[in-house]
Amino acid sequence: MQAADIHLSFTDPMTGQAPRSTRYRETQYTDLDGVVLVVHHAHRSRSPLWSAEPYMGHLHGSAHATWARHLQVGTGGGLIFAHVRRRDLLEQIAQAVGTEEWVRARDAWMSLPRDRWWSGRRFRVVRRAPRQWWALPADPAREAERGPWRSEREALAAVGAAEQV
């Protein structure tokens, strides 16, 4: 994977909405290999730090303790990144995706319990190849991936119809 392949978005892919305005703190999102990373940057401050961590808004309360134990026992964060420059942060993430440590951390992340009362989307639609759109579940334990569809519009229509049932 190349750093140029990582696209940051201001729209939260789990809820489909832009984050509430946080003064002097820029928040962006990227979806890589089924994991949504939240990228933070404190602009207009003396700290040039860029950081990325997994999206935690949909986890059950006990999952935070489980994840903290995984970070303590593991050889590194696996899904947690930080750098002084945005370009270098994206390069760091691109180099980590697909490695053994990434796969181990991704598997641990996906096994964490999700909050069953969380009101986000059940699926988020991602493009994996030209004319290949997939619906990835917010809770992999409850739902399987769906797709591929020929366009994003078809995928959203199919997922929207499935969520109304």
Q: How confident is the model at residue 91 (pLDDT cuts 50, 70, 90)?
A: very high
> Containing H/E element for 161?
helix 152-164
* Amino acid at position 110, single letter: M
Q: Does the global pTM surpass 0.75?
A: no
What single string gives the DSSP state of each residue in 5-72? G---BSS-TTTSSPPPP-TT-EEEEEEETTEEEEEEE-TTSS---EEEEE--TTB-HHHHHHHHHHHH
Q: How confident is the model at residue 159 (pLDDT cuts 50, 70, 90)?
A: confident
